[in-house]
Amino acid sequence: MRFSFFYRYILRKHDMTRKYFGTDGIRGKVGTPPITPDFLLKLGWAAGQVFAREGHNFVLVGKDTRISGYMFESALEAGLTAAGVDTRLLGPMPTPAVAYLTRTLHAKAGIVISASHNPYYDNGIKFFSAQGTKLPDDMEQKIEKYLDLPITTVDSSKLGKAKRVVDAAGRYIEFCKASVPTGMTFDGMKIVVDCANGATYHIAPDVFKELGAEVIAIGVEPDGLNINEGYGATNPENLVKTVLEHRADFGIALDGDGDRVIMADHKGELVDGDELIYIIAKARLKSGLLTGPVVGTLMSNLGMEHALQALSVPLLRANVGDRYVIEMLAEHKGMLGGENSGHIICLDKTTTGDGIIAALQVIAEMQNTGLSLHDLKSGMQKYPQVLINVRTPTKVNLKTHDGIQSAVRAVEQMLGKNGRVLLRASGTEPLIRVMIEGCNQSQVESYAKQLADDVQQAIAT
């Protein structure tokens, strides 16, 4: 199944200036503008004004499990209704599920209320087009224009209506199961599934159970406040502990909205996004299904690049962010890409990053080869890579800051050709991410700490 329509996706023009939209929708702390009920009401109305011109169907709205989702769901629904747009409410639903359902239910757009891997006190809004892809630039620009206008309400006879979609979870579970070969079962496998107390809590365990696996589910008791806390792809300690305690074959950790995945093998060793991409790429290549280059990011490990080179598979690097990976895949007609954080995009299966789908592709290769996850990842040797986040009180232009550039050059000179340095500003938090990669672990750790200290000092002066 190939999503050929995807290559008509409108490529993002990175020089566009937006007041609210970032690289992955709108995100921030709950109660702090723009993540407030009044803004979400206005955003729903503004989006409704744009979507109303795209046809006569409805807009899907899904959310993760954070407590503020109830408040923002109601605000968005009210805004869409005032604009005369019908709403279909999905309740807690993974981000990739909303993308899938938007496409297959023929909605005019999909909206996700989620801050992904962030803590419960953050929240955000993501949009999907009718094709299940990220919303094109021109649509975001149109929405922002309406945000500057006063809210108006259509005539009462034309107000939108809201309904619940009662079979959304079941539809998505069947879609996930269909991403592995017909007739394949996971009988005899013992799997730990960590749902981060997030949107996959009522979906991911059932996917793997219905395929025949014995599932030990953790992080499946959301209370509105515990999303991503101590569990999930960003906190895999409990995954590793549970895999070892139960002598499981492997473990799967998803994040709060289900669009990223990290795995752990039977020895308790973590398998990150780069290693999972390598496993999937090798499997697709062996079956003759791999097309185009693999697309990683500036953060992708040099070990993945070298391992793919050994397979004669080129790796292209996009800016950090799954949106940029998807754009580069579209531009170069690739089908597989992602980030070391666990965002993995399999365009032969779906239109966006999907943690469950990615995990299923890896497990299918385990079944096809009879090899363990530990064995499958052994073909790629990761370079030691250390990432340190430096919090910034204000936005910093890394390229023009002389003190920071001087510190970078000093470390690059010490590393020589045996490593690389990457500094980038986070797109979702007030952070500068300092990354050092090289051959020697202790050397990399030392250089990373030194550079992070130098960056912190340069910002303060």
**What's 13's domain CATH number?**
3.40.120.10
CB-based contact 136:86 (threshold 8 Å): no
Helix count (H) and strand count (E) of the chain? Answer: 14, 18
Choose the catalytic residue: 4, 68, 74, 116: 116
Listed residue (86, 87, 109) closest to 98, CA to CA: 109
Does position 232 have pLDDT exceeding 80, yes or no? yes
Per-residue pLDDT tens over the stretch 314-347: 999 999 888 899 999 999 999 999 999 999 999 9
Residue 439 — very low, low, confident or very high, per pLDDT cuts 50/70/90? confident
Single out the residue in 330, 349, 377 at which a domain terminates: 377
On whether both 353 and 395 belong to a single domain, the answer is: no
pLDDT tens-digit readout, 338-372? 999 999 999 999 999 999 999 999 999 999 999 99
Is 86 in the same domain as 205? no
Confidence of residue 55 (pLDDT cuts 50, 70, 90): low
* pLDDT for the residue numbered 457: 82
Segment 98-115, tens digit of pLDDT = 999 999 999 999 999 999
Query: Are 153 and 176 part of one and the same domain?
Result: no
- Going by pLDDT thresholds of 50, 70 and 90, the confidence category of residue 13 is very low
Task: Kindly state whether residues 159 and 187 are assigned to the same domain.
Answer: no
Res 406: pLDDT: 87
Domain count, the chain: 3
Rounded distance, CA 260 to CA 254, Å? Answer: 6
Q: Above 60 in pLDDT, residue 16?
A: no
- For the chain, the straight-line distance linking the first and the last C-alpha, in angstroms and rounded, comes to 55
Q: Are residue 134 and residue 176 in the same domain, yes or no?
A: no
The pTM (predicted TM-score) of the whole model is 0.89
Q: Look up the CATH number of the domain holding residue 428.
A: 3.30.310.50
Tokens encoding 298: 């500036």
Cβ–Cβ < 8 Å for 335, 292: yes
pLDDT digits (tens, 9 = 90+) for 69-99: 999 999 999 999 999 999 999 999 999 999 9
Across the chain, mean pLDDT equals 92
Domain boundary among 105, 135, 166: 166
Range of the domain at 455: 385-460
**Phi-psi label, residue 322: left if phi above 0, alpha if psi -120 to 50, beta otherwise:** alpha
The answer on 145 and 231 residing in a single domain is no
Of 138 and 417, the one with more pLDDT: 138
Are the C-beta atoms of residues 151 and 45 closer than 8 Å to each other? yes
Active site residue 116: yes
pLDDT over 90, % of the chain: 79
12 pLDDT higher than 50: no
Mean pLDDT of 397-411: 84
Looking at 166, 195, 230, the residue that finishes a domain is: 166
**Co-location of 353 and 456 in the same domain:** no
The radius of gyration computed from the CA coordinates of the chain, to the nearest angstrom, equals 22
Pairing of strands 109-113, 59-63: parallel
